[in-house]
Structure 1
Amino acid sequence: MKRKAKGLFITATGTDVGKTYVTGLIIKKLREAGLNCGYYKAAISGADSVGESDAGYVNRIANIGQTDKMLVPYLYKEAVSPHLAARIEKNPVELSVVKEGFSKNAQQFDYLTMEGSGGIICPIRYDARQKLFLEDFIKEFSLPSVIVADAGLGTINAVVLTVEYMKNRSLPIKGIILNNYTGGIMQEDNIRMIEAMTGIKIAALVKDGDKDLDIEAEALAAFYE
């Protein structure tokens, strides 16, 4: 698919590990460095409006100024997986609609950051007519990914399984960002073990309340393709 913008997909080891928070920091970092970076998400569930959603948060924190329609084409009120929310609300995600929104954003921005929903295996649509997963978007738009994970207990297992799943499906990974970093022997060992077992570097460590990423904007921008 032809596009003007370089793109990056942000996925995670699961729900509630801080993927949206980190996505906001990524875009904020690039925009403050003078790079024209935007945001896009195929579907959001569990919000009454775009402004109250993950997309609205990123739009505000990174000072992007995108319209609701450009941020996300599918918004569901039900706080469940998008495929189930779509079934309940009778509004299934259409790949053509997601592609159109991505294309419009790719013409507006030089760098486009697409956020996933939950973990990498999260189903976006699953019915008799079509089955869509996050990896379908990654492949459709030829995007490399960054994985967001929690820095604490259990993250070795979660990260390694996510990486193995993605490698098995030929989904390129640029780096791993650990959220909720507090330091200490366990978290330092988590970093060492993740890098040793996956062969992928920890790109940044995010502490609670951080307003900036501990990675140079130039290095961050290099993740985009």
Structure 2
Amino acid sequence: MSGQVVFVSGIDTDIGKTVVTGWLARQWLERGERVITQKLVQTGCIGASDDILMHRRIMGTGLFEEDRDGSTMPVLYAYPASPHLSARLEQRTLDFAAIEAATARLRQGYDTVLVEGAGGLMVPLTDTLLTIDYVAQRGWPVLLVTSGRLGSINHTLLSLEALAARGITLQGVAWNSRDDGSDELITADSREFIRAHVARQFPQAAWYEVPRLDLA
């Protein structure tokens, strides 16, 4: 029997998806679930996915065999840009078959595969395919990462509207405290506004409070 996939996305680039993915995987491991993470596509690195390495550091597991054989990082590009541009610059088409085969292998061995995307929901994978549409085609639920940075209410609600418009299930919203803004009043208000909105509009969705992790 295949395990479930949960896709981790965020309201913007650098919102903390990698930290949240690693933290959540650790929480689920500690309660006895077989969990692994995967990077859908990684740009800006060579040889290994920096995000997968960070996941393992937070999880405290060391590398998995599936990391060594490339299943958790099936596509890497060197140029730090959206996948469609990185692929074009390297003249190497995004290999969806390799990604799908890798995800299928991980699902066979684990209860849950947390698949971290690149950037936000509307990041283009190709010139004609957005990340959100790739996720919708597969019927994967989404865990959305947000924070208290200025503008997060707008970006979060727009992301939630986009998920709803495509019939994508919201698995949960993760509040990344590490990325909170410098204005404590705005941060506190944004948190309560977003949490109340999610509770009203997506009552089935979980709410995760992600603490500030010491990653030094």
CA deviations 1:30-56 (Å, max 9, x no partner) are 1122211011122100112215x1122
Contact 1:73 1:98 in 2 (8 A): yes
Contact 1:82 1:124 in 2 (8 A): yes
Q: Distance in 1 between matches of 2:130 and 2:96?
A: 10
Give the percent of matched residue pairs that are identical in Structure 1 and Structure 2. 25
Q: Distance in 1 between matches of 2:34 and 2:184?
A: 37
> What code does the residue aligned with 2:109 have?
Q
| Matching residue of 2:13 | 15
| Matching residue of 1:151 | 148
Contact 1:14 1:119 in 2 (8 A): yes
Q: Distance in 1 between matches of 2:133 and 2:67?
A: 25
Structure 2 residue runs without a partner (length 5+): none
Helix, strand or coil at the partner of 2:120: coil
Contact 1:124 1:132 in 2 (8 A): yes
TM-score, reference length from structure 2: 0.85
| Matching residue of 2:98 | 97
Give the alignment partner of residue 54 of structure 2, picking from 42, 53, 57: 57
| Matching residue of 1:45 | 43
Q: Distance in 2 between matches of 1:194 and 1:16?
A: 19
CA deviations 1:107-159 (Å, max 9, x no partner) are 11111111111000011122xxxx33222432343211110012232110110
Give the alignment partner of residue 138 of structure 1, picking from 135, 138, 141: 135
| Matching residue of 1:214 | none
Structure 1 residue runs without a partner (length 5+): 212-225
Q: CA deviation at 1:97?
A: 1.9
Q: Distance in 2 between matches of 1:42 and 1:179?
A: 21
Q: CA deviation at 1:21?
A: 0.5
Helix, strand or coil at the partner of 1:116: strand
Q: Distance in 2 between matches of 1:139 and 1:5?
A: 18
RMSD: 2.1
> What code does the residue aligned with 2:35 have?
C
Contact 1:44 1:117 in 2 (8 A): yes
TM-score, reference length from structure 1: 0.82
State the number of aligned residues. 204
